[in-house]
Amino acid sequence: MRIRSAVPAVLAASALSVSLLAASPATAAAHQGGLHLGYIQFDSPGSDTRSNSSLNAEWVNIHNNSGSAIQLKGYKLKDNTGYTYTFGSYKIGSGKTVKVRTGKGTNASGVRYWGRGSYVWNNTSDKARLIKPSGSLKDSCSWTNSNPGYKSCH
């Protein structure tokens, strides 16, 4: 009976912390991780021809919903096979998104190129991992072929 009566207090406490989070900046409610994986276009639209434009139509968004800019140097993206993209120096502003395209291209604000000559994200099932420079996992997102070629990881 003592345990049972304690439960409502725990629930009330967690409800309180959730409402406090929701009351902070609007974007904070969507994801509490600050830096996280967003939308992933894991199946390049159309035939997978391996052309550079098709490779670049396969991409991952990383979103920073923390309140400050984050230096991504040393952060990694990794798939189930172990293919790894390591960020060079790139500062992602608060509320900003950076897109990592699979193929080759010239890095610019908001877009980085993995530089691969073949696809990285499997169409059937795979898991994207965002790994901090320390090696610890920051975020992950998985999908199967029941997803329509893309996955919204929020």
- Which residues contribute to the site for Ca ion (CB under 5 A)? 43-44, 48
Question: In terms of CB distance, is 43 or 79 closer to Ca ion?
Answer: 43
Question: In terms of CB distance, is 61 or 86 closer to Ca ion?
Answer: 61
| CA gap 70, 48 in Å, rounded | 34
**Distance in Å, CB of 149 to Ca ion, minimum:** 7
| CA gap 62, 65 in Å, rounded | 10
Residue pair 66/35 in contact (Cβ under 8 Å)? The answer is yes
**Distance in Å, CB of 21 to Ca ion, minimum:** 38
Q: How many CB atoms lie within 10 A of CB 8?
A: 9
**Distance in Å, CB of 151 to Ca ion, minimum:** 14
Question: In terms of CB distance, is 41 or 64 closer to Ca ion?
Answer: 41
- DSSP H or E stretch at residue 105: none
